[in-house]
Amino acid sequence: MQVAEGGLSHMSGFVVFRKILRSDGIPGVFRGFGTSAVGALPGRILALTSLEISKEMAFKYSEHFDMSEASRIAVANGVAGLVSSTFSSSYSVPLDVVCQRLMVQGLPGMQTYRGPFDVINKVVRSEGLRGLYRGFGITLLTQSPASALWWSSYGGAQHAIWRSLGYGNGTQKKPSHTELVAVQATAGTIAGACSSIITTPIDTIKTRLQVMDNYGSGRPSVMKTTRLLLREEGWRGLYRGFGPRFLNMSLWGTSMIVTYELIKRLSVKPEQ
């Protein structure tokens, strides 16, 4: 929806979903899935490792500041999200370029590819290694704050929910497994909602910059991409695909954080 010309860009997410199913079947909905799933593993390991280390350091350092526990949690999570995104962007941007080109192939004006390595070969041949890093600057400047916002919102929302359920400081009772999952899922959904509202315009520009080639002469740039989008549709064009992105970030945040927190709990040795 962010890159398609004409009709698709003005349709609802559900209608676009049905059109993809009708023309390409189930495989069309999962274009680029293999590359994203397998290729993202090293980047996710890098991101979560740097996240945990920086979060622990930020929370410990914030003891010296006069702030509430909720504020310390939100700040520590925000700093950790910022650091994590900065470290992982150098790996994730080329992967993003490859996955997005696989997703949009077949649309008007888009090239077709035989797989991820064909994407890499064609991009490098036409633009050099710089082509794989299209949008790196805007990704670094936007995804890092977006990640900080997501983790900060998650930490703050989770703390507020636990307090509202009576699990404040000094309480002896422990939440059940169901309560843990429900609170983490709710906090992840809230974080996804906050992040998607703020980051959709930048994501639209970044996606178009990474996959579109009809810019005329010269290399594509953030300003050129933004001007083209505003000329085509005005300010509303910046929120192309907001519904699917909102749903995506909420579902992604919920499934990711519930699974992540579960693995963390299972990885801790039981007390003797």
- Per-residue pLDDT tens for 8-61? 555 666 777 787 788 778 877 777 777 767 767 787 788 888 888 988 888 888
Interval 75-108: pLDDT, tens: 888 888 888 888 887 777 888 888 878 877 766 6
> Whole-number mean pLDDT of the chain?
78
Per-residue pLDDT band for 129 (boundaries 50, 70, 90) equals confident
What pTM was computed for the model?
0.58
pLDDT per position as a tens digit, 148-159: 888 888 888 888
Which of 213, 212, 209 has the alpha carbon at shortest distance from 201? 209
Q: What's the pLDDT at 217?
A: 53
CA distance 235 to 128: 33
Q: How high is the pLDDT of residue 258?
A: 85
The model's confidence at residue 224, banded by pLDDT at 50, 70 and 90, is confident
Of 4, 222, 62, nearest to 13 by C-alpha is 4
Helix axes 69-104, 33-61, angle to 10 degrees: 160
Which tokens in the block code for residue 34?
């293999």
**pLDDT surpassing 80 at residue 7:** no
Position 128 confidence tier, pLDDT thresholds 50, 70, 90:
confident
pLDDT value for 61: 85
Angle between helices 69-104 and 136-164 (to 10 degrees): 130
